[in-house]
Amino acid sequence: MNSMTILDAGTVAAGSLLTVAGLSVEEVAAILTATDRLERMAAAERVKILAGRRIALLFYESSTRTRTSFELAAKSLGAMTTLVSDKSSSIEKGESLKDTGLTLRALGAECIVLRHANSGAPYLLAKMTGLPVLNAGDGMHEHPSQALLDLRTMLARLPGMSGRLVNAKTLDGVTVVITGDILHSRVARSNAMLLPRLGARVVLCGPKELLPEDALGLGAGVEIERDFDKALKQAASQGAAVAMMLRIQRERLAGLELDLGDYISRYQLDQERLTAKAPEALVMHPGPMIRGLEIAGEVADGPNSAIEDQVRHGLGVRTALLARALGAGGFESVTI
């Protein structure tokens, strides 16, 4: 199959979420409003929303948070789920993404949640199956549900944010310092695309090896600062500061050697650095984190940390995304 055949295969179903770029600010607001509504709903009511509907979780890369929260979210809406992972399916025998997707569709899947090592794979799957596809992380490209749960965490934890309407000024005065392996991070990319559209300033921080000058194709509201101490101090002096730490993705380094001792001294968020530079900063990490490398355990477990909140908000946001994907639970106008 050549690429033209793939691109001509069909349109992307409404309700898909492939990139945060595809969401208007109004749609982001609608997803977060639905998240609130679904969370407050009695479990006995919520379970009727997708009762009997079939959702496939197709994971070509390992995951704890994303996979589990999508599965629990689907079940809380009454849907049936099936997990297909590359390790224990016919993918191991060489079956293509297209044939795997068509097989799931033939078995009655109405929506596919896909994590894949290749950037753009969710887009191809959506085109080839015609089903709504939720991108659960594609290569170094995007992790849109992570950016939405990160946004919800900020709105819940930053002072004065609770109950604020989501619009282009919601995060005015907020600086989000994203530090670590920016080059390989789909989380950084999705957040750098989403947060400035809501008024935040995003500062990317890390050594050249992990943060080339042209990283992410910097858009408006996104800057680079290599000095982590300076970035934290500036963020704290200009309003609300968020320190979002990222894991070094050893699995994607491909021969790139880093002096870890030097990295830790310059970029690890430990208590001394946090207290000295941004004592009120909200500390975030998408996980999985490597304690003692990009973040000290005492900071991860400390009062500034929102890391477990992020996981909890992931469940809520993904519940809304699944309802939206299947045109239910307040998203009936999203036609599939």
Residues of this chain that interact with ligand CP (CB under 6 A) are: 63-67, 137, 146, 286-288
Strands (E), the chain: 54-59, 80-85, 111-116, 133-138, 174-179, 201-205, 222-224, 240-245, 282-284
Q: How far is the CB of 37 from ligand CP (least distance, A)?
A: 24
Q: How far is the CB of 311 from ligand CP (least distance, A)?
A: 8
Looking at the Cβ atoms of 151 and 334, the one nearer to ligand CP is 151
Cβ 229 to ligand CP, closest distance in Å? 26
User: What is the DSSP code (8-state) at residue 239?
Assistant: S
Question: How is residue 180 written in tokens?
Answer: 């670590």
Q: Does residue 78 come out as left (phi exceeding 0), alpha (psi in the -120 to 50 range) or beta?
A: left
Q: How far is the CB of 146 from ligand CP (least distance, A)?
A: 5
Q: How far is the CB of 150 from ligand CP (least distance, A)?
A: 10
CB 229, CB 270: distance < 8 Å: no
Contact 245, 267 (CB under 8 A): no
* For ligand CP, the closer CB: 190 or 234: 190
Considering the complex, state which of residue 19 and residue 66 has its C-beta at the smaller distance from ligand CP. 66
- Residue closer to ligand CP by CB (options 10, 288) is 288
Q: Which is nearer to ligand CP, 141 or 273 (by Cβ)?
A: 141
Q: How far is the CB of 115 from ligand CP (least distance, A)?
A: 7
Cα diameter, the chain: 58
Q: What is the DSSP pairing of strand 240-245 with strand 133-138?
A: unpaired
Q: Which is nearer to ligand CP, 137 or 316 (CB)?
A: 137
Alpha-carbon span 271 to 243, nearest angstrom: 12
